[in-house]
Amino acid sequence: MAIGMILELRGDPAEMRKIYHAVNAEVNPDGAPAGLILHVAGPTDTGWRIADVWESQAAFDTFSKRLFPAAQKHGMKPDSQPLIWAIENTMKARG
């Protein structure tokens, strides 16, 4: 079953952007990881927000084994654990 994941990072948005891109380059040198359906990320008033849709919890867990050590190495400190929920429905735009 597909899952959604949201991760909030608090801090200066410009600094969070630098950290985000450094971590992304390290953990995704060949593009999207296996099992990722959709990834969006960007600045907020209080830092940076990341939202993903994964094919399964197992796919996210496998990726997390690479992500969280790299994030910690680059100084990325999430406010809390990722918010994860089961995806019941998805819709794609026409065209």
55-81 pLDDT, tens digit per residue, is 999 999 999 999 989 999 998 877 678
Residue-range domains of the chain with CATH: 3-86 (3.30.70.100)
Task: Determine the Cα–Cα distance for residues 32 and 8; give it in Å rounded to an integer.
Answer: 20
Per residue in 15-67, pLDDT (tens digit) is 999 999 999 999 999 999 999 999 999 999 999 999 999 999 999 999 999 99
Helical H segments across the chain, by residue range: 13-27, 57-73
Q: How does residue 95 score in pLDDT terms, banded at 50, 70 and 90?
A: confident
